[in-house]
């Protein structure tokens, strides 16, 4: 819908500050500028296109349908797809080096490996082209006055800069400064939790072959599930894979306990013999790198005075095990953008509706992501679990509307809210528990009896409950 000139005039009076120019902050800026709002975008770090702030560190993310849908309206979907690699399946590497494939969805459904810095830079470059967006790098937020919506920053010369705006978004990530300043408000009764997981992670690399090709199947996400720990690998365009090793920070086999060359080398040799042949200096990397923590953030409310709001990781940091961190943040932007239209620029109504809609759904995906560690690291290598998935996929083909597997609802069905996916998934789990108890299921899983029973259970429990 084209905005008339008169509308634009009214909106240009409204200035929106976005603290944090990561993928979510940059996308939010683009979406709101498209509606005619004037945007001040602040980023505490320097411009990554000019300074190597990542110090060669490559972080990969899996972009899926919720993310793509949010990107559509700002016109850089195609550009980003060109830099992304579709992954159609999981490839599980067992301890003896045997491989098992598991499709993520139907034939053409994929999750897409993208570089975090790459997608961020594409969004920033797009934002720079927009005259309504003013990008300020190396601006570090130090104070917020919530009464008059004034923010105080230190710029790159350590000068104090004060900026006022009508609305302020905190898109400044899991350790959000906006959030910390909100929490200190005595009268707001803001409930908050930050939970560290027992697992931490380090990144490792599998380099490309000399001809630039990939050393493992390119269009797949590789997993070495070892129950209490796991290694994963996502493909890069240059032929390399970015790998992540997740394991306990403390305990018997942990980042703390593996503290000598000998112990680490033995560990890799024992548990990741096939990957060991491909990884670049895993033992040295393991010993040199300090493991990064994984944490969950819950906060409520997300708003102060209906003028300051949290978005993305600042509101709902989660663990990476469902590949939905960035996707959920992008979906925040998409939903907010729709609410701006629905509520015709009434920001009190927009932000209340935004919080109401997103809080419950982001709680759901945070919960699903936490549960998924077990699925990825343990069950992914379990025959019984794989049979379950096969039965579900088969039934989905027969009754594509009655039964959409949980992973597909979350990953490929942006019309199903996360909270609904979680609720349906729990009912499906109960049904599958029943099905897996059927005598001889390992042999008879393709028989009609199984699917008739499943149809009976699903049509009574799923259709009635939803």
344 binds a copy of itself (CB under 8 A): no
143 binds a copy of itself (CB under 8 A): no
261 binds a copy of itself (CB under 8 A): no
Q: What are phi and psi of 51, to 5 degrees?
A: -125, 140
3-state secondary structure 142-193: EEEECCCCEEEEECCCCCEEEEECCEEEECCCCCCHHHHHHHCCCCCCCEEE
Q: Tell me how far apart the alpha carbons of residues 442 and 390 are, in angstroms, rounded to a whole number.
A: 11
Please calculate the CA angle 335-341-342 and round it to the nearest 5 degrees: 85
Question: 98 or 193, CB closer to a copy of itself?
Answer: 193
Q: Tell me how far apart the alpha carbons of residues 266 and 403 are, in angstroms, rounded to a whole number.
A: 45
Question: 148 or 184, CB closer to a copy of itself?
Answer: 184
Q: Which region, judged by CB under 8 A, interacts with a copy of itself, from 78-86, 182-190, 340-348, 437-445?
A: 182-190
Is residue 66 within 8 Å of residue 414, measured between CB atoms? yes
Site for a copy of itself in 189-218 (CB under 8 A): 189-196
Minimal distance in Å, beta carbon 440 to a copy of itself?
A: 36
292 binds a copy of itself (CB under 8 A): no
Is residue 444 within 8 Å of residue 438, measured between CB atoms? yes
**Total binding residues for a copy of itself by CB under 8 A?**
13
Minimal distance in Å, beta carbon 297 to a copy of itself?
A: 10
Nearest to 291 by CA among 269, 331, 264: 264
Question: 271 or 300, CB closer to a copy of itself?
Answer: 300
Nearest to 241 by CA among 327, 115, 122, 68: 115
The 8-class DSSP code of residue 446 comes to: T
Tell me which of 83, 100, 109, 249 binds a copy of itself, using CB under 8 A.
Answer: 249
Residue 22 C-beta-side C-alpha neighbours within 13 Å: 23
Question: 221 or 310, CB closer to a copy of itself?
Answer: 310
Please calculate the CA angle 338-339-343 and round it to the nearest 5 degrees: 125
256 binds a copy of itself (CB under 8 A): no
Q: Tell me how far apart the alpha carbons of residues 292 and 305 are, in angstroms, rounded to a whole number.
A: 35
Question: 5 or 189, CB closer to a copy of itself?
Answer: 189
293 binds a copy of itself (CB under 8 A): yes
Minimal distance in Å, beta carbon 196 to a copy of itself?
A: 4
Minimal distance in Å, beta carbon 194 to a copy of itself?
A: 5
Minimal distance in Å, beta carbon 198 to a copy of itself?
A: 10
185 binds a copy of itself (CB under 8 A): no
C-alpha distance across the termini of the chain, in Å? 33
156 binds a copy of itself (CB under 8 A): no
Q: What are phi and psi of 98, to 5 degrees?
A: -75, 145
Minimal distance in Å, beta carbon 246 to a copy of itself?
A: 15
Q: Tell me how far apart the alpha carbons of residues 419 and 13 are, in angstroms, rounded to a whole number.
A: 36
Parallel, antiparallel, or unpaired: how do β-strands 15-19 and 167-170 relate?
Answer: parallel
251 binds a copy of itself (CB under 8 A): no
Question: 195 or 426, CB closer to a copy of itself?
Answer: 195
Minimal distance in Å, beta carbon 144 to a copy of itself?
A: 17
Minimal distance in Å, beta carbon 295 to a copy of itself?
A: 8
Minimal distance in Å, beta carbon 352 to a copy of itself?
A: 14
370 binds a copy of itself (CB under 8 A): no
| Binding stretches for a copy of itself (CB under 8 A) | 183, 189-196, 249, 293, 295, 298
């Amino acid at each position: 819908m084209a905005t008339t000139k008169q509308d634009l005039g009214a909106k240009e009076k409204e200035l929106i500050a976005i603290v944090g120019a990561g993928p979510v902050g940059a996308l939010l800026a683009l979406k709101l500028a498209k509606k005619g709002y004037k945007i001040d975008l602040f980023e505490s770090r320097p411009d990554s296109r000019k300074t190597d702030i990542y110090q060669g560190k490559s972080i990969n993310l899996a972009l899926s349908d919720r993310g793509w849908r949010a990107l559509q309206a700002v016109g850089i979907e195609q550009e980003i797809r060109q830099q992304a690699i579709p992954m159609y399946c999981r490839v599980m590497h067992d301890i003896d080096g045997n491989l098992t494939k598991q499709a993520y969805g139907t034939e053409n459904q994929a999750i897409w490996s993208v570089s975090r810095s790459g997608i961020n830079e594409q969004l920033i470059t797009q934002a720079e082209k927009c005259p309504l967006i003013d990008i300020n790098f190396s601006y570090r937020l130090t104070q917020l006055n919530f009464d008059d919506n004034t923010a105080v920053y230190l710029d790159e010369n350590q000068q104090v800069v004060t900026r006022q705006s009508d609305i302020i978004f905190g898109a400044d990530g899991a350790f959000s400064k906006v959030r910390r300043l909100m929490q200190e408000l005595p009268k707001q009764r803001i409930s908050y939790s930050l939970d560290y997981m027992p697992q931490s992670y380090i990144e490792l690399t599998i380099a490309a072959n000399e001809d630039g090709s990939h050393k493992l199947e390119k269009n797949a996400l590789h997993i070495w599930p070892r129950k209490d720990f796991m290694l994963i690998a996502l493909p890069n365009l240059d032929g390399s894979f970015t790998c992540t090793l997740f394991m306990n920070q403390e305990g018997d086999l942990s980042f703390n306990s593996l503290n000598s060359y000998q112990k680490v080398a033995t560990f890799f040799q024992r548990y990741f013999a096939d990957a060991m042949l491909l990884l670049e200096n895993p033992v040295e990397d393991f010993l040199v790198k300090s493991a990064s923590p994984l944490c969950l953030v819950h906060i409520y409310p997300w708003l102060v005075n209906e003028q300051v709001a949290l978005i993305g990781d600042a509101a709902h940091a989660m663990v990476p095990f469902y590949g939905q961190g960035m996707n959920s943040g992008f979906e925040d932007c998409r939903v907010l953008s729709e609410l701006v239209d629905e509520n015709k620029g009434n920001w009190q109504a927009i932000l209340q509706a935004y919080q109401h809609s997103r809080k419950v759904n982001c709680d759901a995906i945070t919960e699903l992501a936490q549960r998924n560690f077990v699925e990825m690291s343990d069950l992914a290598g379990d025959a019984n679990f794989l049979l379950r998935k096969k039965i579900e996929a088969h039934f989905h083909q027969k009754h594509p509307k009655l039964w959409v597997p949980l992973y597909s609802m979350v990953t490929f069905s942006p019309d199903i809210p996360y909270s609904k996916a979680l609720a349906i998934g729990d009912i499906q789990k109960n049904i599958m528990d029943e099905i897996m108890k059927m005598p001889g299921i390992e042999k008879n899983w393709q028989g009609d009896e199984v699917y008739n029973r499943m149809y009976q259970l699903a049509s009574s429990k799923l259709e009635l409950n939803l």
